[in-house]
Chains A and B, each alone.
Chain A
Protein backbone atom coordinates (compact mmCIF):
# COMPACT_ATOMS: atom_id res chain seq x y z
CA UNK A 1 0.00 0.00 0.00
CA UNK A 2 2.83 2.34 0.85
CA UNK A 3 4.33 2.11 -2.60
CA UNK A 4 0.96 2.72 -4.22
CA UNK A 5 0.79 5.96 -2.27
CA UNK A 6 4.15 7.14 -3.58
CA UNK A 7 4.14 6.00 -7.19
CA UNK A 8 3.88 9.26 -9.16
CA UNK A 9 6.45 11.69 -10.49
CA UNK A 10 5.01 14.29 -8.12
CA UNK A 11 5.93 12.04 -5.19
CA UNK A 12 9.63 11.84 -6.01
CA UNK A 13 10.57 15.01 -4.16
CA UNK A 14 8.95 13.65 -1.00
CA UNK A 15 10.72 10.32 -1.45
CA UNK A 16 14.09 12.03 -1.90
CA UNK A 17 13.21 14.09 1.18
CA UNK A 18 13.10 10.91 3.25
CA UNK A 19 16.84 10.56 2.66
CA UNK A 20 19.50 13.01 3.72
CA UNK A 21 22.98 13.48 2.37
CA UNK A 22 25.72 15.94 1.68
CA UNK A 23 24.99 18.80 -0.68
CA UNK A 24 27.06 17.47 -3.59
CA UNK A 25 25.12 14.24 -3.58
CA UNK A 26 21.81 16.09 -3.26
CA UNK A 27 22.64 18.15 -6.35
CA UNK A 28 23.63 15.01 -8.23
CA UNK A 29 20.33 13.43 -7.26
CA UNK A 30 18.34 16.41 -8.53
CA UNK A 31 20.10 16.48 -11.91
CA UNK A 32 19.30 12.85 -12.66
CA UNK A 33 15.75 12.65 -11.28
CA UNK A 34 13.87 13.51 -14.47
CA UNK A 35 15.74 11.24 -16.86
CA UNK A 36 15.56 8.40 -14.31
CA UNK A 37 11.81 8.87 -14.09
CA UNK A 38 11.31 8.89 -17.85
CA UNK A 39 13.46 5.78 -18.18
CA UNK A 40 11.66 3.75 -15.53
CA UNK A 41 8.20 5.13 -16.28
CA UNK A 42 8.17 4.95 -20.08
CA UNK A 43 11.29 3.44 -21.62
CA UNK A 44 12.68 0.46 -19.72
CA UNK A 45 10.96 -2.92 -19.73
CA UNK A 46 11.74 -4.11 -16.23
CA UNK A 47 9.61 -4.54 -13.11
CA UNK A 48 10.24 -5.78 -9.56
CA UNK A 49 9.01 -9.17 -10.78
CA UNK A 50 11.45 -9.37 -13.72
CA UNK A 51 14.73 -8.27 -12.12
CA UNK A 52 16.30 -11.64 -13.00
CA UNK A 53 14.58 -12.20 -16.34
CA UNK A 54 17.15 -12.67 -19.11
CA UNK A 55 15.14 -10.48 -21.50
CA UNK A 56 14.68 -7.52 -19.14
CA UNK A 57 16.11 -4.14 -20.01
CA UNK A 58 19.21 -3.26 -17.99
CA UNK A 59 19.81 0.12 -16.38
CA UNK A 60 23.38 0.63 -15.13
CA UNK A 61 23.94 3.64 -12.87
CA UNK A 62 27.59 4.21 -13.64
CA UNK A 63 27.67 7.53 -11.85
CA UNK A 64 27.05 6.01 -8.45
CA UNK A 65 27.09 9.43 -6.81
CA UNK A 66 23.84 11.01 -5.68
CA UNK A 67 21.74 7.85 -5.72
CA UNK A 68 18.85 9.39 -3.72
CA UNK A 69 17.00 10.10 -6.96
CA UNK A 70 17.67 6.57 -8.17
CA UNK A 71 16.42 5.05 -4.92
CA UNK A 72 13.36 7.32 -5.00
CA UNK A 73 12.47 6.14 -8.52
CA UNK A 74 13.09 2.50 -7.56
CA UNK A 75 10.76 3.01 -4.58
CA UNK A 76 8.10 4.68 -6.69
CA UNK A 77 8.22 1.74 -9.07
CA UNK A 78 8.04 -0.86 -6.28
CA UNK A 79 11.60 -2.20 -6.31
CA UNK A 80 12.20 -0.70 -2.85
CA UNK A 81 9.86 0.10 0.02
CA UNK A 82 9.43 3.55 1.49
CA UNK A 83 10.78 2.04 4.70
CA UNK A 84 14.04 1.23 2.86
CA UNK A 85 14.51 4.95 2.20
CA UNK A 86 13.97 6.09 5.77
CA UNK A 87 17.08 4.43 7.21
CA UNK A 88 19.39 4.74 4.22
CA UNK A 89 23.14 4.65 4.89
CA UNK A 90 22.61 3.03 8.30
CA UNK A 91 24.69 -0.09 8.84
CA UNK A 92 21.81 -2.50 8.30
CA UNK A 93 20.31 -0.60 5.34
CA UNK A 94 20.70 -1.93 1.79
CA UNK A 95 21.06 1.67 0.59
CA UNK A 96 24.35 3.55 0.76
CA UNK A 97 25.75 6.70 -0.82
CA UNK A 98 26.87 4.39 -3.62
CA UNK A 99 24.64 1.48 -4.68
CA UNK A 100 25.59 -2.18 -4.19
CA UNK A 101 23.89 -4.57 -6.59
CA UNK A 102 24.04 -7.41 -4.09
CA UNK A 103 22.02 -5.31 -1.61
CA UNK A 104 19.66 -3.16 -3.72
CA UNK A 105 16.75 -4.96 -5.42
CA UNK A 106 16.73 -3.92 -9.07
CA UNK A 107 20.25 -2.44 -9.14
CA UNK A 108 22.14 -4.02 -12.04
CA UNK A 109 25.62 -2.94 -10.95
CA UNK A 110 27.51 -1.82 -7.88
CA UNK A 111 29.04 1.58 -8.57
CA UNK A 112 30.67 4.58 -6.95
CA UNK A 113 34.15 4.60 -8.45
CA UNK A 114 33.82 6.60 -11.67
CA UNK A 115 34.28 5.07 -15.10
CA UNK A 116 33.17 1.47 -14.60
CA UNK A 117 29.58 1.40 -15.87
CA UNK A 118 30.19 1.81 -19.59
CA UNK A 119 32.68 -1.08 -19.73
CA UNK A 120 30.25 -3.27 -17.83
CA UNK A 121 27.55 -2.08 -20.23
CA UNK A 122 29.63 -3.02 -23.28
CA UNK A 123 30.13 -6.50 -21.83
CA UNK A 124 26.43 -6.82 -21.04
CA UNK A 125 25.55 -5.77 -24.59
CA UNK A 126 28.06 -8.27 -25.99
CA UNK A 127 26.63 -11.00 -23.78
CA UNK A 128 23.06 -10.33 -24.93
CA UNK A 129 24.18 -10.25 -28.56
CA UNK A 130 26.06 -13.55 -28.20
CA UNK A 131 22.90 -15.12 -26.77
CA UNK A 132 20.81 -13.72 -29.66
CA UNK A 133 18.71 -11.70 -27.23
CA UNK A 134 17.90 -8.85 -29.58
CA UNK A 135 15.13 -7.19 -27.58
CA UNK A 136 16.70 -5.99 -24.30
CA UNK A 137 18.37 -2.61 -24.09
CA UNK A 138 21.36 -1.73 -21.94
CA UNK A 139 21.20 1.86 -20.70
CA UNK A 140 24.20 3.30 -18.84
CA UNK A 141 23.94 6.64 -17.03
CA UNK A 142 27.13 8.69 -16.64
CA UNK A 143 28.02 12.21 -15.58
CA UNK A 144 30.02 14.73 -17.63
CA UNK A 145 32.68 14.80 -14.91
CA UNK A 146 32.82 11.04 -14.93
CA UNK A 147 33.60 11.19 -18.64
CA UNK A 148 37.10 12.39 -17.63
CA UNK A 149 37.94 8.77 -16.75
CA UNK A 150 39.88 7.19 -19.61
CA UNK A 151 38.11 3.86 -19.22
CA UNK A 152 35.01 5.47 -20.77
CA UNK A 153 36.90 6.27 -23.93
CA UNK A 154 38.02 2.68 -24.34
CA UNK A 155 34.35 1.71 -24.15
CA UNK A 156 33.03 4.52 -26.37
CA UNK A 157 35.47 3.78 -29.20
CA UNK A 158 34.93 0.04 -29.12
CA UNK A 159 31.12 0.19 -28.84
CA UNK A 160 30.96 2.48 -31.86
CA UNK A 161 33.12 0.20 -34.03
CA UNK A 162 31.30 -2.91 -32.85
CA UNK A 163 27.91 -1.38 -33.67
CA UNK A 164 26.38 -2.22 -30.30
CA UNK A 165 22.88 -1.04 -31.18
CA UNK A 166 21.39 -2.33 -27.91
CA UNK A 167 23.67 -0.02 -25.88
CA UNK A 168 22.60 3.48 -24.84
CA UNK A 169 24.76 5.94 -22.91
CA UNK A 170 22.95 8.72 -21.06
CA UNK A 171 25.36 11.48 -20.08
CA UNK A 172 23.99 13.99 -17.59
CA UNK A 173 25.87 17.22 -18.28
CA UNK A 174 25.81 19.55 -15.31
CA UNK A 175 29.11 21.18 -16.28
CA UNK A 176 31.04 19.48 -13.52
CA UNK A 177 34.00 18.32 -15.63
CA UNK A 178 37.02 20.30 -14.46
CA UNK A 179 38.38 20.95 -17.97
CA UNK A 180 35.09 20.80 -19.88
CA UNK A 181 34.25 19.23 -23.25
CA UNK A 182 34.82 21.83 -25.99
CA UNK A 183 32.44 21.28 -28.89
CA UNK A 184 30.01 19.41 -26.67
CA UNK A 185 29.81 15.90 -25.33
CA UNK A 186 27.69 14.53 -28.18
CA UNK A 187 30.60 15.18 -30.57
CA UNK A 188 32.75 12.66 -28.61
CA UNK A 189 30.23 9.96 -29.35
CA UNK A 190 29.33 10.77 -32.95
CA UNK A 191 33.05 10.88 -33.86
CA UNK A 192 33.25 7.26 -32.70
CA UNK A 193 30.26 6.13 -34.70
CA UNK A 194 27.41 6.60 -32.25
CA UNK A 195 24.09 8.30 -32.90
CA UNK A 196 23.84 11.19 -30.41
CA UNK A 197 21.12 13.61 -29.26
CA UNK A 198 21.25 16.47 -26.76
CA UNK A 199 18.15 17.38 -24.75
CA UNK A 200 17.31 19.51 -21.67
CA UNK A 201 16.81 17.62 -18.43
CA UNK A 202 13.35 18.92 -17.47
CA UNK A 203 11.60 18.20 -20.79
CA UNK A 204 10.09 14.74 -20.39
CA UNK A 205 8.75 14.59 -23.96
CA UNK A 206 12.17 15.48 -25.36
CA UNK A 207 13.88 12.96 -23.08
CA UNK A 208 11.47 10.25 -24.18
CA UNK A 209 11.96 11.15 -27.83
CA UNK A 210 15.76 11.05 -27.54
CA UNK A 211 15.82 7.81 -25.57
CA UNK A 212 13.60 6.07 -28.13
CA UNK A 213 15.11 7.63 -31.26
CA UNK A 214 15.91 5.13 -34.04
CA UNK A 215 19.65 4.42 -34.33
CA UNK A 216 19.99 1.62 -36.80
CA UNK A 217 23.09 -0.51 -36.23
CA UNK A 218 24.92 1.91 -33.92
CA UNK A 219 24.81 2.69 -30.18
CA UNK A 220 22.84 5.68 -28.94
CA UNK A 221 24.10 8.54 -26.78
CA UNK A 222 21.67 10.92 -25.08
CA UNK A 223 23.31 13.98 -23.56
CA UNK A 224 21.05 15.53 -20.92
CA UNK A 225 21.94 19.15 -20.23
CA UNK A 226 21.03 20.36 -16.77
CA UNK A 227 19.30 23.73 -17.07
Chain B
Protein backbone atom coordinates (compact mmCIF):
# COMPACT_ATOMS: atom_id res chain seq x y z
CA UNK B 1 0.00 0.00 0.00
CA UNK B 2 2.91 2.35 0.58
CA UNK B 3 3.82 2.08 -3.12
CA UNK B 4 0.19 2.81 -3.99
CA UNK B 5 0.29 5.84 -1.73
CA UNK B 6 3.45 7.09 -3.43
CA UNK B 7 1.93 6.60 -6.88
CA UNK B 8 -1.44 8.25 -6.13
CA UNK B 9 0.01 11.23 -4.26
CA UNK B 10 2.75 11.80 -6.86
CA UNK B 11 0.18 11.83 -9.64
CA UNK B 12 -2.13 14.16 -7.70
CA UNK B 13 0.76 16.57 -7.02
CA UNK B 14 1.24 16.85 -10.79
CA UNK B 15 -2.36 17.86 -11.41
CA UNK B 16 -3.49 19.71 -8.24
CA UNK B 17 -1.49 22.89 -7.44
CA UNK B 18 -3.26 23.12 -4.07
CA UNK B 19 -1.81 19.87 -2.79
CA UNK B 20 1.33 19.71 -0.61
CA UNK B 21 3.16 16.68 0.80
CA UNK B 22 5.05 16.89 4.09
CA UNK B 23 7.54 14.21 5.08
CA UNK B 24 9.74 13.47 8.09
CA UNK B 25 12.46 11.44 6.33
CA UNK B 26 10.37 8.26 6.16
CA UNK B 27 9.65 7.37 2.49
CA UNK B 28 11.45 10.53 1.30
CA UNK B 29 13.54 8.49 -1.16
CA UNK B 30 10.36 7.24 -2.82
CA UNK B 31 9.24 10.81 -3.53
CA UNK B 32 12.57 12.04 -4.95
CA UNK B 33 11.26 12.42 -8.50
CA UNK B 34 8.08 14.27 -7.70
CA UNK B 35 9.98 16.39 -5.20
CA UNK B 36 12.28 17.55 -8.00
CA UNK B 37 9.23 18.57 -10.06
CA UNK B 38 7.49 20.39 -7.19
CA UNK B 39 10.13 21.48 -4.68
CA UNK B 40 7.81 23.98 -2.98
CA UNK B 41 5.04 21.40 -2.48
CA UNK B 42 7.03 18.33 -1.47
CA UNK B 43 8.85 19.21 1.73
CA UNK B 44 10.96 16.85 3.81
CA UNK B 45 11.23 18.44 7.25
CA UNK B 46 13.74 15.93 8.59
CA UNK B 47 12.96 13.95 11.73
CA UNK B 48 10.64 16.63 13.11
CA UNK B 49 7.22 15.18 13.73
CA UNK B 50 5.82 18.00 15.86
CA UNK B 51 6.68 20.31 12.96
CA UNK B 52 5.20 17.78 10.52
CA UNK B 53 1.74 18.33 11.96
CA UNK B 54 2.22 21.99 12.89
CA UNK B 55 3.32 22.83 9.36
CA UNK B 56 0.39 20.84 7.97
CA UNK B 57 -1.90 23.03 10.06
CA UNK B 58 -0.22 26.18 8.73
CA UNK B 59 -0.48 25.02 5.11
CA UNK B 60 -4.18 24.36 5.62
CA UNK B 61 -4.60 27.88 7.02
CA UNK B 62 -3.42 29.22 3.64
CA UNK B 63 -6.05 27.14 1.84
CA UNK B 64 -3.78 24.32 0.70
CA UNK B 65 -4.45 20.60 1.16
CA UNK B 66 -1.62 19.08 3.21
CA UNK B 67 -0.74 15.39 3.22
CA UNK B 68 1.56 14.20 6.02
CA UNK B 69 3.18 10.79 6.15
CA UNK B 70 5.41 8.70 8.40
CA UNK B 71 5.20 5.63 10.65
CA UNK B 72 1.98 5.54 12.68
CA UNK B 73 3.84 5.81 15.97
CA UNK B 74 5.44 9.10 14.88
CA UNK B 75 2.44 10.42 12.95
CA UNK B 76 -0.22 10.02 15.64
CA UNK B 77 1.37 9.23 18.99
CA UNK B 78 4.41 11.51 19.11
CA UNK B 79 2.70 14.72 17.89
CA UNK B 80 -0.69 14.01 19.40
CA UNK B 81 -1.17 17.49 20.83
CA UNK B 82 -0.40 18.97 17.42
CA UNK B 83 -3.21 16.83 15.97
CA UNK B 84 -5.54 18.12 18.64
CA UNK B 85 -4.56 21.79 18.43
CA UNK B 86 -2.83 22.54 15.12
CA UNK B 87 -5.53 20.81 13.07
CA UNK B 88 -8.68 20.22 15.14
CA UNK B 89 -8.66 23.33 17.31
CA UNK B 90 -7.70 25.56 14.36
CA UNK B 91 -10.68 24.17 12.48
CA UNK B 92 -8.49 22.97 9.62
CA UNK B 93 -7.91 19.59 7.99
CA UNK B 94 -5.24 17.37 6.48
CA UNK B 95 -4.74 13.88 5.14
CA UNK B 96 -2.51 11.79 7.40
CA UNK B 97 -1.22 8.56 5.89
CA UNK B 98 0.61 6.20 8.21
CA UNK B 99 2.64 3.15 7.41
CA UNK B 100 3.55 0.18 9.58
CA UNK B 101 0.13 -0.84 10.89
CA UNK B 102 0.09 -2.17 14.43
CA UNK B 103 3.28 -4.28 14.21
CA UNK B 104 4.46 -4.64 10.64
CA UNK B 105 8.13 -4.19 11.46
CA UNK B 106 8.26 -6.48 14.51
CA UNK B 107 12.05 -6.65 14.41
CA UNK B 108 12.13 -2.97 15.39
CA UNK B 109 10.26 -3.72 18.58
CA UNK B 110 7.72 -1.74 20.55
CA UNK B 111 9.03 1.68 19.46
CA UNK B 112 7.69 1.11 15.95
CA UNK B 113 4.37 -0.43 16.94
CA UNK B 114 1.26 1.75 17.03
CA UNK B 115 -1.79 -0.38 17.82
CA UNK B 116 -3.32 2.56 19.71
CA UNK B 117 -3.42 5.03 16.79
CA UNK B 118 -7.11 4.73 15.96
CA UNK B 119 -8.14 4.73 19.63
CA UNK B 120 -6.11 7.91 20.20
CA UNK B 121 -7.63 9.68 17.20
CA UNK B 122 -11.01 8.53 18.47
CA UNK B 123 -10.65 10.96 21.38
CA UNK B 124 -10.84 13.84 18.89
CA UNK B 125 -13.97 14.90 16.99
CA UNK B 126 -14.26 15.20 13.25
CA UNK B 127 -11.79 12.59 11.99
CA UNK B 128 -12.51 10.18 9.17
CA UNK B 129 -10.51 6.98 9.65
CA UNK B 130 -9.83 4.62 6.76
CA UNK B 131 -8.29 1.17 7.29
CA UNK B 132 -8.04 -0.30 3.79
CA UNK B 133 -7.62 -4.03 3.39
CA UNK B 134 -6.16 -3.91 -0.12
CA UNK B 135 -3.98 -1.53 -2.14
CA UNK B 136 -6.83 -0.82 -4.59
CA UNK B 137 -9.02 0.24 -1.68
CA UNK B 138 -6.23 2.47 -0.39
CA UNK B 139 -6.01 4.15 -3.80
CA UNK B 140 -9.75 4.79 -3.99
CA UNK B 141 -9.97 6.09 -0.43
CA UNK B 142 -6.96 8.34 -0.93
CA UNK B 143 -8.29 9.73 -4.21
CA UNK B 144 -11.53 10.50 -2.40
CA UNK B 145 -9.77 12.24 0.49
CA UNK B 146 -7.31 14.44 -1.40
CA UNK B 147 -9.80 16.99 -2.79
CA UNK B 148 -11.39 17.73 0.60
CA UNK B 149 -10.57 20.06 3.49
CA UNK B 150 -11.49 17.70 6.31
CA UNK B 151 -9.40 15.61 8.70
CA UNK B 152 -8.65 12.16 7.31
CA UNK B 153 -6.45 9.37 8.69
CA UNK B 154 -5.46 6.67 6.22
CA UNK B 155 -3.97 3.64 7.98
CA UNK B 156 -1.83 1.94 5.36
CA UNK B 157 -0.76 -1.66 5.77
CA UNK B 158 1.50 -3.96 3.83
CA UNK B 159 -0.72 -6.89 4.70
CA UNK B 160 -4.24 -7.42 3.68
CA UNK B 161 -6.68 -9.36 1.62
CA UNK B 162 -6.01 -10.92 -1.77
CA UNK B 163 -9.08 -9.20 -3.27
CA UNK B 164 -10.35 -5.62 -2.90
CA UNK B 165 -13.85 -4.97 -1.61
CA UNK B 166 -16.31 -2.09 -1.78
CA UNK B 167 -15.26 1.08 0.03
CA UNK B 168 -17.16 4.20 1.00
CA UNK B 169 -20.51 2.51 1.46
CA UNK B 170 -20.44 1.67 5.18
CA UNK B 171 -20.71 -1.94 6.35
CA UNK B 172 -20.96 -4.28 3.39
CA UNK B 173 -22.07 -7.90 3.91
CA UNK B 174 -19.54 -10.28 2.38
CA UNK B 175 -21.24 -13.47 3.52
CA UNK B 176 -24.86 -13.47 4.64
CA UNK B 177 -26.09 -15.72 7.40
CA UNK B 178 -29.57 -17.25 7.52
CA UNK B 179 -32.54 -15.74 9.32
CA UNK B 180 -31.61 -18.02 12.22
CA UNK B 181 -27.95 -17.05 12.16
CA UNK B 182 -25.95 -16.71 15.33
CA UNK B 183 -25.08 -13.07 14.75
CA UNK B 184 -22.86 -10.65 12.90
CA UNK B 185 -19.08 -10.58 12.52
CA UNK B 186 -17.58 -7.23 11.57
CA UNK B 187 -14.14 -7.49 9.94
CA UNK B 188 -12.15 -4.28 9.56
CA UNK B 189 -9.70 -3.86 6.66
CA UNK B 190 -6.87 -6.44 6.62
CA UNK B 191 -8.77 -8.77 8.99
CA UNK B 192 -11.37 -9.87 6.44
CA UNK B 193 -9.94 -13.01 4.85
CA UNK B 194 -8.81 -14.56 8.11
CA UNK B 195 -12.23 -13.79 9.58
CA UNK B 196 -13.94 -15.50 6.64
CA UNK B 197 -11.70 -18.53 7.10
CA UNK B 198 -12.17 -18.57 10.85
CA UNK B 199 -16.00 -18.44 10.66
CA UNK B 200 -16.41 -20.77 7.68
CA UNK B 201 -18.40 -23.33 9.69
CA UNK B 202 -20.63 -20.85 11.50
CA UNK B 203 -24.00 -19.52 10.42
CA UNK B 204 -23.15 -15.83 10.78
CA UNK B 205 -23.21 -12.71 8.63
CA UNK B 206 -19.72 -11.41 7.91
CA UNK B 207 -19.65 -7.70 7.12
CA UNK B 208 -16.68 -5.66 5.96
CA UNK B 209 -15.64 -2.05 6.22
CA UNK B 210 -12.51 -0.11 5.36
CA UNK B 211 -13.87 3.04 7.03
CA UNK B 212 -14.37 2.92 10.80
CA UNK B 213 -14.98 6.62 11.46
CA UNK B 214 -17.58 7.74 10.99
CA UNK B 215 -18.92 4.34 12.01
CA UNK B 216 -21.90 2.97 10.07
CA UNK B 217 -24.24 2.55 13.05
CA UNK B 218 -27.31 2.35 10.83
CA UNK B 219 -25.73 -0.42 8.76
CA UNK B 220 -24.92 -2.45 11.87
CA UNK B 221 -28.51 -2.04 13.11
CA UNK B 222 -29.82 -3.31 9.76
CA UNK B 223 -27.51 -6.32 9.65
CA UNK B 224 -28.25 -7.16 13.29
CA UNK B 225 -32.00 -6.92 12.73
CA UNK B 226 -31.73 -9.44 9.87
CA UNK B 227 -29.64 -11.89 11.91
CA UNK B 228 -31.00 -14.60 14.18
CA UNK B 229 -29.35 -13.16 17.26
CA UNK B 230 -28.03 -9.74 18.24
CA UNK B 231 -24.53 -11.06 18.94
CA UNK B 232 -21.69 -9.00 17.44
CA UNK B 233 -18.09 -10.09 17.02
CA UNK B 234 -15.84 -7.17 16.17
CA UNK B 235 -12.40 -7.95 14.67
CA UNK B 236 -10.07 -4.95 14.29
CA UNK B 237 -6.36 -4.89 13.38
CA UNK B 238 -5.49 -2.39 16.12
CA UNK B 239 -6.22 -2.06 19.84
CA UNK B 240 -8.98 -4.47 20.94
CA UNK B 241 -12.30 -2.80 21.54
CA UNK B 242 -11.46 0.42 19.73
CA UNK B 243 -14.91 0.43 18.09
CA UNK B 244 -16.76 -1.31 20.93
CA UNK B 245 -18.39 1.93 22.00
CA UNK B 246 -19.69 2.44 18.46
CA UNK B 247 -21.28 -1.02 18.49
CA UNK B 248 -22.81 -0.24 21.88
CA UNK B 249 -24.17 3.09 20.62
CA UNK B 250 -25.55 1.51 17.44
CA UNK B 251 -27.47 -1.09 19.46
CA UNK B 252 -28.16 0.97 22.58
CA UNK B 253 -31.91 0.29 22.47
CA UNK B 254 -31.81 -3.47 22.07
CA UNK B 255 -30.38 -6.35 24.09
CA UNK B 256 -27.19 -7.58 22.53
CA UNK B 257 -23.88 -9.27 23.26
CA UNK B 258 -20.55 -8.24 21.82
CA UNK B 259 -16.95 -9.42 21.82
CA UNK B 260 -14.04 -7.36 20.54
CA UNK B 261 -10.87 -8.89 19.11
CA UNK B 262 -7.77 -6.87 18.35
CA UNK B 263 -4.30 -6.12 19.68
CA UNK B 264 -4.16 -6.89 23.39
CA UNK B 265 -4.57 -4.01 25.81
CA UNK B 266 -3.25 -5.95 28.77
CA UNK B 267 0.47 -6.26 28.16
CA UNK B 268 3.21 -5.38 25.73
CA UNK B 269 4.42 -8.27 23.60
CA UNK B 270 8.17 -7.94 24.06
CA UNK B 271 9.23 -10.45 21.44
CA UNK B 272 10.57 -9.50 18.00
CA UNK B 273 10.08 -12.26 15.44
CA UNK B 274 7.51 -12.09 12.67
CA UNK B 275 4.07 -10.58 12.21
CA UNK B 276 2.64 -14.08 12.39
CA UNK B 277 4.21 -14.47 15.83
CA UNK B 278 2.46 -11.32 16.98
CA UNK B 279 -0.84 -12.36 15.38
CA UNK B 280 -0.68 -15.55 17.44
CA UNK B 281 0.26 -13.71 20.62
CA UNK B 282 -2.77 -11.42 20.26
CA UNK B 283 -5.14 -14.17 19.10
CA UNK B 284 -5.50 -12.49 15.73
CA UNK B 285 -4.36 -15.41 13.57
CA UNK B 286 -7.05 -17.52 11.90
CA UNK B 287 -6.92 -20.16 14.64
CA UNK B 288 -7.21 -17.54 17.37
CA UNK B 289 -10.16 -15.77 15.73
CA UNK B 290 -11.83 -19.16 15.08
CA UNK B 291 -11.49 -20.25 18.70
CA UNK B 292 -12.84 -16.93 20.01
CA UNK B 293 -15.72 -17.00 17.52
CA UNK B 294 -16.78 -20.54 18.46
CA UNK B 295 -16.67 -19.76 22.14
CA UNK B 296 -18.68 -16.55 21.63
CA UNK B 297 -21.34 -17.82 19.24
CA UNK B 298 -21.76 -21.46 20.30
CA UNK B 299 -22.44 -20.81 23.98
Q: A124-B62, A126-B20 are in contact. Are A116 and B55 (CB under 8 A)?
A: no
B66 close to A (CB within 8 Å): yes
What is the number of residues of chain A that contact chain B, defined by CB distance less than 8 Å? 32
Chain A interface secondary structure, helix, strand, loop or mixed?
A: helix
Rounded to whole angstroms, the CA-CA distance of A110 and B88 in the bound complex is 10
Contact with A along B34-60 (1 / 0, CB 8 A): 000000110101101011011111111
Are B46 and A158 neighbours in the complex by a CB distance under 8 Å? Answer: yes
B3 close to A (CB within 8 Å): no
Residues of A with C-beta under 8 A to B90: 101, 109-110, 120
Rounded to whole angstroms, the CA-CA distance of A118 and B58 in the bound complex is 9
Are A127 and B20 neighbours in the complex by a CB distance under 8 Å? Answer: yes
Binding stretch for chain B, among A33-41, A88-96, A147-155, A201-209: A147-155
Q: A113-B85, A128-B62 are in contact. Are A120 and B57 (CB under 8 A)?
A: yes
A175 close to B (CB within 8 Å): no
Residues of B with C-beta under 8 A to A113: 81, 85
Give 14 A-B contacts (CB < 8 Å), ordered by A residue: A108-B61, A110-B89, A113-B85, A120-B61, A122-B51, A122-B54, A122-B58, A123-B61, A124-B61, A126-B43, A127-B62, A130-B41, A130-B59, A158-B45
In whole Å, how far is B268's beta carbon from the nearest beta carbon of chain A? Answer: 26
Residues of A with C-beta under 8 A to B48: 154-155, 157-158
Are A126 and B54 neighbours in the complex by a CB distance under 8 Å? Answer: no
Rounded to whole angstroms, the CA-CA distance of A151 and B52 in the bound complex is 10
Residues of A with C-beta under 8 A to B89: 100, 110
Q: A130-B20, A130-B40, A130-B41 are in contact. Are A116 and B61 (CB under 8 A)?
A: no
Are A126 and B59 neighbours in the complex by a CB distance under 8 Å? Answer: yes
Are A127 and B64 neighbours in the complex by a CB distance under 8 Å? Answer: yes
